[in-house]
């Protein structure tokens, strides 16, 4: 009797099974479209990130070549600095020899 009374009074117990199926049926294509869009947008970003971590790709080769050039330049600078230090040491020794006789008492 209560079910009949509820129908007469218009009490709503929620959506019917048909309404739920219609909602789910409409949500599935939308979720599919969103998933496809996410894969298309995030896929290349994830691939670029993976290449960056792995150090591969065309950019990695260019960067590796640039690093090699910089290393060669650093070696050249080290060599020049060592030469300059040797020349400075030589000059200091020459100056020390010239001053040494002047500093001795007259003799």
Tell me what pLDDT residue 81 has.
Answer: 95
21, 48: one domain: yes
Output the average pLDDT for the chain: 81
Structure tokens at 25: 């049926």
62, 94: one domain: yes
How confident is residue 75, by pLDDT bands cut at 50, 70 and 90? Answer: very high
50, 61: one domain: no
User: Is the CB of residue 51 less than 8 Å from the CB of residue 60?
Assistant: yes
40, 67: one domain: no
Question: Total structural domains in the chain?
Answer: 2
Residue 75 included in any domain: yes
Tell me what pLDDT residue 27 has.
Answer: 84
Residue 8 included in any domain: no
User: Is the CB of residue 57 less than 8 Å from the CB of residue 51?
Assistant: yes
Residue numbers of the domain that contains 77: 56-99
Residue 105 included in any domain: no
Verdict on whether the full-model pTM lies above 0.85: no
Tell me what pLDDT residue 101 has.
Answer: 61
60, 39: one domain: no
Q: In this predicted model, what pLDDT tens digit does every residue of 32-63 receive, in sequence order?
A: 999 999 888 888 888 888 877 876 666 667 88
* CB atoms inside a 10 Å sphere around CB 52: 12
Residue 100 has pLDDT above 90, yes or no: no
88, 65: one domain: yes
Residue 62 included in any domain: yes
């Amino acid at each position: 009797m209560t079910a009949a009374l509820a129908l007469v009074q218009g009490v709503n117990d929620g959506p019917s099974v048909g309404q739920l199926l219609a909602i789910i049926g409409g949500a599935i294509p939308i979720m599919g479209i969103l998933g496809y869009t996410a894969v298309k947008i995030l896929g290349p970003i994830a691939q670029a990130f993976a290449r960056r971590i792995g150090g591969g790709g065309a950019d990695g080769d260019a960067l590796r070549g640039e690093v090699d050039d910089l290393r060669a330049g650093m070696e050249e600078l080290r060599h020049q600095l060592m030469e300059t230090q040797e020349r400075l040491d030589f000059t200091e020794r020459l100056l020390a020899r010239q001053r040494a006789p002047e500093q001795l008492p007259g003799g």
